[in-house]
Amino acid sequence: MVTTAAQIKTAGRAAMLGVVVFLSAGPAAACSFLTDRWNNLIAFSADGSFVNADSEPGEYGRDTVSGAPVADLGNGLVSQLVREKSGCRVTQYLVVTSCLDGKAISLRGEAPPIVPNTPVIAGVSAYLVEEILAPRGKIRVDGSASIESLTAAAEANDLRYVIKGSEGDRWAPWQHYPMRRACKLFYPGSPGSK
């Protein structure tokens, strides 16, 4: 087979087009499902943080859920920031557990406000807990809070939340890792630690 100048020119253009397409897809490729990990064992640290929790139950769950260190709020309450990364979307949840009775609430973060004249990458989204917590948001979480008061505040501010044991809790973060570990750190022997 003889290669002609026209074929070389066409191949060169195709290669250049491929480079342009690859470079323009850079941000999307960087947060692609191809980078997600699958079926690794969940790993816990001494501070209660964890990585590799599955985002979906079952054999083919992607290891996209992780948690920050557990915080003791006092009065039997603990909290943990849980992050789920799915493709180009990052969703944060604040999970607050009452170790004294085992009740828990998961509060989903909100998207940050759009700032005029600021570049935005199409297809990338984030729901951040800092947007719902004071001083930016209207939720205050400390030792004086309760699952009931946090539920009322979430409802009053139209926030997405799930209560442990409610009908919709099958998608809540505690389905992906054992919540009792947080209570075991600060309130061992409490109902929430069992």
pLDDT digits (tens, 9 = 90+) for 66-122: 889 999 999 999 999 998 887 788 899 999 999 999 899 999 999 988 888 887 776
CA nearest neighbour of 27 among 174, 125, 97: 125
**Does any domain span residue 63?**
no
Same domain? For 174 and 112 the reply is yes
Same domain? For 13 and 98 the reply is no
Question: Number of structural domains, the chain?
Answer: 2
Same domain? For 90 and 26 the reply is no
pLDDT at position 175, please? 65
pLDDT at position 177, please? 66
**Does any domain span residue 88?**
yes
**Does any domain span residue 59?**
no
**Does any domain span residue 57?**
no
pLDDT at position 189, please? 94
Angle at 88 between CA 159 and CA 35, to 5 degrees: 135
Same domain? For 149 and 86 the reply is yes
Same domain? For 22 and 78 the reply is no
Exposure b/e, 125-134, CB count within 10 A at least 16 = b: ebbbbebbbe
Domain that holds residue 118: 70-193
- What are the residues whose beta carbons fall under 8 Å from the beta carbon of 183, sequence distance 6 or more? 78, 97, 99, 102, 190, 192, 193
pLDDT at position 10, please? 44
Same domain? For 22 and 76 the reply is no
- The whole-angstrom distance between residue 47's C-alpha and the CA centroid of its chain comes to 18
What pTM does this model have?
A: 0.76
Residue 82, H or E segment? strand 77-86
**Does any domain span residue 43?**
no
pLDDT at position 23, please? 40
Low-confidence ranges of the chain (pLDDT < 50): 1-28
**Does any domain span residue 102?**
yes
pLDDT at position 146, please? 95
Same domain? For 95 and 161 the reply is yes
